[in-house]
Copies of this chain bind each other. A is one copy, B any other.
Amino acid sequence: MTGKPWYLQSGDEGEIVLSTRVRLARNLEEYPFPLRLDAAGCRRVCEAVSEALADDECFRMVNMEELSPAMAGSLAEKHLVSPEFAAERANRALLLSKDESVSIMLCEEDHIRLQVLHSGLALREALDAAQKIEGKLSGKLEFARDERIGYLTQCPSNLGTAMRASVMLHLPALTRMRQIPRLAQTVAKLGLTIRGAFGEGSTPAGDFYQLSNQITLGITSDAAIENLGAIAKQLIAQERASQKSLCEDIATRDAVFRALGILQNARILGSREFLQALSLVRMGAAQGLITVPMQTLNEQLIALLPATLNAANAGKLSPEERDVLRAEKAREAFADV
């Protein structure tokens, strides 16, 4: 599932699972945590990690300070970096693989935040890939580690495996049926958390969620992704059944096709409305009401988010111009649906 960025393809369980991410946190033994590290120290950490991967041609180094806000925001929208990393760019760098399946944030909360992003549900593959790169790094760098606890991290919540895996789920039916609060409680009891994947607020824009493991101590990474995978599959099954049942109702089909009508006709399209419409169209596509490839939906989802849209236009768009351009791009993308 690599070769192209995750958002330009659709993987396993792709109607519901957009992407899988595995993130490993590591810190270099010889440096203080980033919070207590000065600019020169950060620079040395960035250089050390970069050198450790120097014979790996697939990475390019991005000095975060040199990025425009739109470019940095776009990386966050693509989930290649954290929103915090995109917002606070001083003394930070990013190693990004050509196909964007591997992104290594340097001097984020930890010295190294190694992320592997695959399309669809691919926990095993993503963990394997992450561990392979981690192996390369650990051959050349000394990581802060405690024999008994495991890897040391700036925030105690990551101690141990320092591994967080997450799957990005599209749950329009469970959201409409107001099942998310109940599910959030249930998965919390199982050591997982679910939160909005885009934007803020109680109802995540576009009904996209991140389901991730919370526990990194006293559990192996293998057990953690198995647990996450099993629960993800349950949510997928529940969502699929809920979509089927909802779409039997003409009121849902009405909403789905009206949403398509908005994407095909609007001349001004705000990002929240766009995400709402895309979500309905995505459900319609998953249920066979509308014929549009999941790949196209993933591609447009990311391309029309504010920072990515702005970054593709030299970062010079006003919010009004952005909404007009988003409408234009959406019309082009969905004209033949």
A 12-56 to B, binary, CB cutoff 8 A, 1 in contact else 0:
000000000000000000000000000000000000000000000
A260 within 8 A of B: yes
A315 within 8 A of B: no
| A315 vs B324: C-alpha distance when bound (angstroms) | 45
Interface residue stretch chosen among A81-89, A100-108, A247-255:
A247-255
A258 within 8 A of B: yes
Q: Which residues of B contact A258 (CB under 8 A)?
A: 261-262, 265-266
| A261 vs B281: C-alpha distance when bound (angstroms) | 14
A264 within 8 A of B: yes
A95 within 8 A of B: no
Checking B254, B260, B268, B327 against A268 with a beta-carbon cut-off of 8 angstroms, the contacting residue is B254
* Interface positions of A from 245 to 284, Cβ below 8 Å from B: 250-251, 253-254, 257-258, 260-262, 264-268
Shortest distance between the CB of A283 and any CB in chain B (Å): 14
Q: Considering only CB atoms, which chain B residue lies closest to A331 in the complex?
A: B257
Shortest distance between the CB of A208 and any CB in chain B (Å): 23
Q: Considering only CB atoms, which chain B residue lies closest to A320 in the complex?
A: B250
| A268 vs B324: C-alpha distance when bound (angstroms) | 28
Contact yes or no, A251 B268, CB < 8 A: yes
Shortest distance between the CB of A113 and any CB in chain B (Å): 42
| A291 vs B253: C-alpha distance when bound (angstroms) | 27
Q: Which residues of B contact A250 (CB under 8 A)?
A: 267-268, 324
Q: A250, A258, A262, A264: which has the most chain B beta carbons within 10 Å?
A: A258
Q: Considering only CB atoms, which chain B residue lies closest to A261 in the complex?
A: B261
Q: Which residues of B contact A267 (CB under 8 A)?
A: 250-251, 253-254, 257
| A251 vs B266: C-alpha distance when bound (angstroms) | 10
Known: A253-B267, A260-B261. 16 other contacts (CB 8 A): A250-B267, A250-B268, A251-B267, A251-B268, A254-B266, A254-B267, A257-B265, A257-B267, A258-B261, A258-B265, A260-B265, A261-B261, A261-B262, A261-B264, A261-B265, A264-B265
A-B pairs, 5 with minimum CB distance: A261-B261, A261-B265, A254-B267, A257-B265, A254-B268
